[in-house]
Structure 1
Amino acid sequence: MGKYFIGGVLAFVLSTTANADNGLITLKSSLSVNETADKFEKVAQEKGMVIFARIDHAQRAEKVGVTLRPTQLVIFGNPKVGSPLMACSQGVAIDLPQKVIVTEDENKQVWLTYNDPQYLVNRHNIRGCDAVIEKVSKALTNFAKSATQ
């Protein structure tokens, strides 16, 4: 079991990038941008999240004569989770509802990126919400992993 567990952890770490400088977590997807965003929406909704909007930036850019690689933003959340965070630190409302962006790079590789909840803790000096932050972190990790496989 040990070598399989370590191998699985290593594979996840190698396919995930957490950048402490900008507070983002990025996962490599094996699917297209559209399929990844669709799958993220489905998984998030199954877990009680509300999908507030989905924005296809490439499609909107095309309407004004700008060409972008595929780029989709999904805005989602759940007041049962977001409201307690705002009660701990009202300023976190600027970062809620939550978002994921799914992009295709110049090599046709697809990536799913979201805000690291620990970054939000530091950014907004959130205190007394450790259990909520842990729940959000686990949920986002699970949603993202499910959407990118």
Structure 2
Amino acid sequence: MLKIISVVAVALALSSCANVDNFLNTSDEVQSTPETMAATNAEKGLVTMQSSHSVQDTADKLASIIESKGMKVFARVDHQKNAQGADLTLRPTQVIMFGNPKAGTPLMNCEQSVAIDLPQKILISEDADKKVWLSYNNPEYLKERHNIKGCDTQLANIAKALEGVSKAAIAK
């Protein structure tokens, strides 16, 4: 029995290494033009915009705008800093998690599984060409993913809020 468990453990370890390679996307092919980035992310259910600021400045501006709109920033994750703490390198990458129970609760009442995607998250990252991108989950993607019915007004309001804070954060 121990031999079987050991074989399974080795198989899992090897398969996770293969998945890490896929996750890291170590291919030489880099797709970073605005059109390619937007099209690729649309397929992933993301809305993506290019920022004219650094990752840090975009994230700072975004957090300030979110709070000025009466929403709460629940967390700010600096993935680059966390990678450095593990002696790894990563281009500037931050995620801001934020929300407002007045917007999220009605959506969860429509379909509770959407809670896995709340609070809202916005990713700000720098690509290999030093371009800065801001991305967030398209509310239409969440509608499909969670089979949300009867909450079109709430989803439209969330989409409007996400677009508003995002465009304000990337504006010159």
TM norm structure 2? 0.76
Shift of 1:47: 1.1
User: Identity of aligned pairs, percent?
Assistant: 52
Corresponding residue number in structure 2 for 1:69: 91
Local SS of the residue matching 2:43: coil
Deviating 4+ runs (over 6 angstroms) = none
Query: Does 2:17 correspond to 1:17?
Result: no
Local SS of the residue matching 2:150: coil
Letter in 2 for 1:75: M
Local SS of the residue matching 2:165: helix
Distance in 2 (alpha carbons) for counterparts of 1:44 and 1:139: 9
Query: Does 2:159 correspond to 1:121?
Result: no
Determine which structure has greater relative contact order: mean sequence separation of CA pairs < 8 Å that are 6+ residues apart, divided by chain length. Answer: 1
Q: Who wins on radius of gyration, i.e. which is larger?
A: 2
Shift of 1:32: 0.4
Greater per-residue strand proportion: 1
User: RMSD of the alignment, in Å?
Assistant: 1.5
- Among 39, 54, 59, the alignment partner of 1:37 is 59
Greater per-residue helix proportion: 2
Corresponding residue number in structure 1 for 2:13: none
Shift of 1:17: 2.4
Distance in 2 (alpha carbons) for counterparts of 1:35 and 1:142: 17
Query: Does 2:159 correspond to 1:137?
Result: yes
Q: Which runs of 5+ in 2 are unaligned?
A: 1-33
Query: Does 2:126 correspond to 1:101?
Result: no
TM norm structure 1? 0.87
Q: How many residues align?
A: 136
| Aligned counterparts, 1:55-66, within 5 A | 55-66=77-88
